[in-house]
A = this chain, B = another copy of it.
């Protein structure tokens, strides 16, 4: 997605060989009109797949997921990272280890909103080590629903996540894939046919 690559180049800040800060347009501040085009890009890629629900993880996944849901006209569920007082029973839960935060946390969804006859698209902002995606897949498995694929805004192609998921036969569609951040330089992986 050309406009996304431009955003990454102009507004992203490379902090190290493995970390790029995209707070300016994805993780902290968002441009809703641009994010609508991100949602439309996901909808185009997953059109005709019979998606009935989108699952994401709070907080940064919510905007791209909701915009994809707007285009596909399906409900969006955001998994919660901590149990809240009004979300305490009948949960599907999975443990997710965060390498950036260096801690494990539990993510949960209510059993009320994903069912065995659902066809689920997982959307997330960043794919790095794949731990969040694996956690969401576990929730979908617990619900007995079908996972159609995973839509990612920015994939860090030099980290494990993409390989781990694709080796499991899961369709992963990333709108932009960063091949390298070496020497404070963002290099994108060329977009090829999706395998």
Complex contact A75–B31 (CB within 8 A): yes
Which residues on the B side are within 8 Å of A112 (C-beta)? 23-24, 29
- Identical subunits present: 2
Which residues on the B side are within 8 Å of A110 (C-beta)? 23, 28-29
Residue in chain B with minimal CB distance to A83: B101
A15 within 8 A of B: yes
Complex contact B35–A86 (CB within 8 A): no
* Most B-side CB within 10 Å, residue of A30, A31, A69: A30
A70 within 8 A of B: yes
Which residues on the B side are within 8 Å of A80 (C-beta)? 28, 59
Distance between A14 CB and nearest chain B CB, rounded to angstroms:
11
For A, the interface residue count at a CB cutoff of 8 angstroms equals 39
A100 within 8 A of B: yes
Given B59, B77, B101, which contacts A58 in the complex, CB threshold below 8 Å? Answer: B59
Residue in chain B with minimal CB distance to A22: B86
Distance between A168 CB and nearest chain B CB, rounded to angstroms:
26
Complex contact B86–A21 (CB within 8 A): yes
How distant is the Cα of A76 from the Cα of B23 in the complex, in angstroms? Answer: 11
Distance between A13 CB and nearest chain B CB, rounded to angstroms:
9
Given B28, B66, B73, B85, which contacts A66 in the complex, CB threshold below 8 Å? Answer: B66
Distance between A72 CB and nearest chain B CB, rounded to angstroms:
9
A36 within 8 A of B: yes
Q: What is A's interface to B at a CB cutoff of 8 Å?
A: 15, 19, 21, 23-24, 27-33, 35-36, 58-59, 62-63, 66-67, 69-70, 73-78, 80, 84-87, 100-101, 109-110, 112-113
Q: Knowing that A19-B85, A32-B69, A32-B75 are A-B contacts, what are 8 other residue pairs whose CB atoms are under 8 Å apart, sorted by A's residue number?
A: A19-B86, A29-B76, A31-B75, A32-B67, A58-B59, A59-B78, A62-B63, A84-B101
